[in-house]
Structure 1
C-alpha cells in the first residue's frame, strides 16, 4: 500500500508531465538588419539629411510633423506581408511607429488582405507617404506571424529610394493622427500585436549594429520579445524613460556627457534613435567639444575635421546614463575613413561624428544618440517597464574607422 507521501509524489509528478506541453516559454524573434548608403546619384549630403530628421524630431509629433526618415543611410529588415507573403525591405525606425509598404515594391493583395477604408498619411519632413490602411498577416523571422496587423499601403510616396517602406518600432503614441478620419486614434504597432497575440511575453525590442566600412552590409539584428545574449558582453544597464518633453514622446532618456574629465553636457533629456546617423548634442555642449578636440568645420561635408595629430590626442567621450558609463573611444568618434568620399569628403581627412543639435541645453531635446553611438552598444527598448537599456559588445572598443 502506498503511503500518503508516496501518493502525493506520484500525483505531483503526473501533473508536471501533463502540464509540460503547455508550458509558456519566452520566444525571441530575430531579424537581420542591413545598412545601406544610397550613393546611386553620387556623393550624398548625409549631414543635411540627418539634420532634417533631427529638426523634425525636435518639432514634435504633437505639432503634426512626424520625424523625417534619413533615406540616404537606411537600416533595413526584410519583412513578409500577406499569405503567401511578399517580402519587403523596410527601414527599421525607433523614431516612428507606423508600418507601411509600397514605396518600391507594390503591395500584393492576398486572402488575408483586408481594406479598412481608412485613409492614412504620414509626413516625414523631406519625404511622405499617403494611401489606405489595410490589415494583413505580417511574417517576421522564421515564419513567425502577426495576424491582422495594420499596414499602410502607399498610393503615393516621396523621398524614399531603394526601400519599400518603414517598420515602425517607436512608441505607439506616434501613430496618433495618422489615420485621416480618426485624428485621435492610435494604431497598435508590430510590437504591440506580437505581445497581445501571445507571440512574445513582453513588449521589448532589442537592436544590435556592428560598425561597417562598406556601403552595403548585413551586420545587424533586430530582436522582439527580449535580448540576444550572444550579441552583447557583460550586463545590460537600464535607465527609466525620461519624463521631459518633447524627448518623452520618443525613446527618450536622461544622460550627461564628459569629454575626458571635462563635462560638456550636464544631465539632461534627449533620445536614442536608430534612424539618425550622427550623434547630436546641444549647441553649448558642441561648442565645448569642438574646442576640446580642436576640430574645424569642413566646408565639403559640414562635419568637424581634425588633423592626424589631433586625432592621436583625442580623449574618450563618456555617456553617463543611469548608474553606468558608456564610452566612445577616439576611433568610435570618427566617420569610417573608407567612406569619406561617399559623403563628399576627402579620402585622407578625419571627420568627427558629433554635431550641433541647434539649440542650447534646456530645450527638453538636448541630444540624439544615433547610429554612430548604437553601433558600439547593444540597445534595448522596453515598453513593458518604460526603460531603455545598453550593454557593451565586441565592437565597443574596436578600431574600425
Structure 2
C-alpha cells in the first residue's frame, strides 16, 4: 500500500480455469462485509467548510477485539500483512488479551505505524481468530489521504511481514490463523469491491470471503495465475496486454500486482505517456489528492474516451471511461480546483508494470491462494 498517488512504482503459463481446491463448494467459507467510503466521513463531505484537502476513497471493514471494542474504518490492504488497530480509538486490552512484551513497526511507502504487539481474539464479520498477533498503534504518520483510519488489516502473502514484530522473523496473518485454527479448510480468500456513486455514496456492500470464493459474484470461472517470486513479497503476477480502445499499448508479460490499499489504476509508464501524447491538451495532475494522474481537456468525456482494456490470462477486463474518470461531484473532496478539466484515476506504475488498485478491483473479482501461491481473477456477474 502507498498513499503517494502518481509515485506508485511497483513468462509464465496461465493455469487455465478454476482448479479443484479453490472450487470446493463444500468447503466452509466466512464472510466479511466491506464498504467503499469517501474520507473523511460523509458528514464532512457535505459540509463545505470542512477541511477536505486530503480526502480520498478507501475500502474498509470493522474489527472486534480488545475490551469488547469495535474498530470501524479498518483499511483492507492486500499490500501488507500485519493487523493493527488504534489509529483513532485507543485499543484497551480485554479478557482475551495476552501480553507478549513485543513491539511492531510497519512502513507504508510515505508513512508508517508503530506500537505495542499483543495476542488477542479478533473477529471480522463471521470470521474469528482466537490467537492473533495484533498491533496497538501509539504512533502513525502519513495516512492523511485515508483519514479517519482506525487501523489496517493486511492480507498480503505468507511471510511478507518479515521483521515487523520484534522477537519474530515473520508472524501469521489473519488468513493463516483462520486455517491453522480450523475455521476454514483452505487458505484462500476472494475480494469483491463495490464502487461509489457520483454523489459519493456506496452503491452496495462488498465482501471478503475467507476459505474460498463467492460464486454468486462471478461470471464464468476464475482464471488462476502463478504468483511471481519472491513469494513472500506481494501478490504479484504477469498480466498479458494493455489497450487504449483499439490501440494495443503494451504486450506481456507485464509485471503486475493488486493492492486494495491503493486508489488509482497505475499502468505501465510507457503506456501512460502514450495516452498523454494521444489526446491533445492532456497533462498530469500536480496539485490535488490525485497527484500524478492524467487530466484530459474538458471536451474529453466518458462518451468520447475509449476504455482501458487489461488482459489477464484468458480474460479481458474492460474499464470504461465512466469508471476511470473522476465524477465532478467528488472534485471538492479530492481537492481538485481545475474543475474545467476531466480528471482521472489513471496513474503511472513504472516501466512495464501495473499496480491495480481499487478503481480496477471495482471492475473485477480477485482471489488469493496462499497454499498454492496463485492469484485468480474473474469477470463480475
Shorter-chain TM-score: what band? 0.7 to 0.9
Q: Are residues 1:342 and 2:327 paired?
A: no
Q: How many residues align?
A: 335
Aligned to 1:42: 51
Taking the aligned partners of 2:328 and 2:374, their CA distance within structure 1 comes to 34
TM-superposed deviation, 1:181: 3.9
Q: Are residues 1:132 and 2:116 paired?
A: yes
Aligned to 1:388: 375
Taking the aligned partners of 1:298 and 1:38, their CA distance within structure 2 comes to 20
TM-superposed deviation, 1:194: 0.5
Taking the aligned partners of 1:324 and 1:191, their CA distance within structure 2 comes to 27
Aligned to 1:29: 30
1:287 is paired with a residue whose SS is helix
TM-superposed deviation, 1:360: 2.6
Give the conservation status (yes or no) of the 8 Å contact 1:231–1:378: yes
Q: How does 1:236-385 map to 2 (within 5 A)?
A: 236-243=222-229, 249-255=233-239, 256-267=241-252, 268-294=254-280, 295-298=282-285, 300-301=287-288, 302=291, 303-307=293-297, 309-311=299-301, 312-345=303-336, 346-347=338-339, 349-357=341-349, 359-361=350-352, 366-385=353-372
TM-superposed deviation, 1:368: 0.3
> Larger radius of gyration, structure 1 or 2?
1
Out of 287-296 and 205-214, give the one that drifted further. 287-296
Aligned to 1:227: 213
Aligned to 1:56: none
Give the conservation status (yes or no) of the 8 Å contact 2:315–2:378: no
TM superposition score normalised by structure 1: 0.77
Give the conservation status (yes or no) of the 8 Å contact 2:35–2:194: no
Q: How does 1:166-245 map to 2 (within 5 A)?
A: 166-182=152-168, 185-213=169-197, 214-215=199-200, 217=202, 219-243=205-229
Taking the aligned partners of 1:297 and 1:130, their CA distance within structure 2 comes to 34
TM superposition score normalised by structure 2: 0.80
TM-superposed deviation, 1:350: 2.1
2:128 to 141, 145, 153: 145
Superposed CA RMSD in Å reads 2.4
Aligned to 2:18: none
Give the conservation status (yes or no) of the 8 Å contact 2:120–2:131: yes
Question: Deviation digits for residues 284-331 of structure 1, max 9, x if unmatched?
Answer: 121112223443334543432224543333222211111221111222
Give the conservation status (yes or no) of the 8 Å contact 1:338–1:347: no
1:103 to 87, 107, 125: 87
Are residues 45 and 165 of structure 1, via their aligned partners in 2, closer, same or farther at CA, if it must alter by over 3 Å? closer
1:343 is paired with a residue whose SS is coil
Question: Comparing both structures, which one devotes a greater share of its residues to helix?
Answer: 1
Structure 2's unaligned 5+ residue stretches are 1-24, 45-49
Question: Deviation digits for residues 321-359 of structure 1, max 9, x if unmatched?
Answer: 1122111122222123321221122455422221123x4
Structure 1's unaligned 5+ residue stretches are 1-23, 47-71, 395-401
Give the conservation status (yes or no) of the 8 Å contact 2:242–2:311: yes
